[in-house]
Amino acid sequence: MDQLQQLKQMTTVVADTGDIDAIRQFQPVDATTNPSLLLKAAQDPKYGQLLQESRDWADQISQDAQLRLIHMSDRFSVLVGREITRLIPGRISTEVDARLSFDTQATAAKARQLIEQYEALGISRDRVLIKIASTWEGIEAGRQLERDGINCNLTLLFSFAQAQACADAGIYLISPFVGRILDWHRKQQPNTDFSSDKDPGVQSVSRIYHYYKTHGYNTVVMGASFRNIGEIQALAGCDRLTISPALMQQLAEDPTRLEQRLNPETGSPDPKQSLDENQFRWAMNEDAMAQEKLAEGIRNFAADQIKLEQLLSQI
């Protein structure tokens, strides 16, 4: 077996793409999308029909120009999600507008609207994960949604404090961003060897994974944002890994043996701790990398959301 096949035996493989052809080729269990991936999809002619359907739907909802673009964008993300669910046995992750990242109630309301659209299309909520940025407000929105039976994927997760808060909130799944953690440390220490187990992103996910397993949390750990297959190989055995088509192709071309690196029986040295809002915010303040990468990620997703809306305005 190639390494992609071997990985699928120990980890649930998720496609980090909105490209339906790539999903069909690599046959992942789940798939994730975000504003950046949707912006790319919207520029591909094969998604023209979905864009037309989105415009027609938005025209019926509102005549206000700005609201119409927001509705059209939401509808496009749901329609792309619908197409993906036809190709995978598991769940599609659909992201809430990053501009709502610091508004708990608006985030929860948007999540419910997206779920309503999926259900109106015949896709049950147990096929969908709502992606929310791992701010304090986002995590609190996730807490509310989980209580209502809407499962969430807390994304843009860079710190142990974010992981602790998500687990305490009963979040279904988290997406710690391996590659972006590495990016920050490489910028700070350009001459340091960050290969394999020395990779700070790999170390972060490993720590979170063992903390969850040791203390009996059910929250799923899904490593994300990989820069190379070495990071993926070092996290083989993690609950889930969301991987781009390019890196899945590299794994599929590698026939060597893949070793399972993460084991749920390995204990965590971190004691169980519940953080209140003040403790969470202080921990984030003390972690320059997490604070900077979270803010940067929200800004970038918001910028791509605006670009998507500008593109949709021309249809």
Choose, from 110, 131, 213, 293, the residue flagged as catalytic.
Answer: 131
CA-to-CA dists, residue 218 to 10, 90, 109, 213, 215, angstroms: 18, 18, 25, 8, 9
Token reading at 142: 């996730």
- CA-to-CA distance for 142 and 132, rounded, in angstroms? 8
* Amino acid residing at 146: E
Measured on CA atoms in the order 81, 290, 240, 110, is the torsion positive or negative?
Answer: negative
**In this structure, what token pair is assigned to residue 198?**
């020395």
Cα Rg of the chain, angstroms: 19
Q: Is 131 a catalytic residue?
A: yes
Residue type at 239 in one-letter notation: D
CA-wise closest residue to 171 among 207, 211, 131: 131
Largest CA distance in the chain: 58
| 153 vs 130: CA distance, rounded Å | 6
Nearest to 130 by CA among 118, 67, 239, 290: 118
Could you give the residue numbers annotated as active site?
Answer: 131
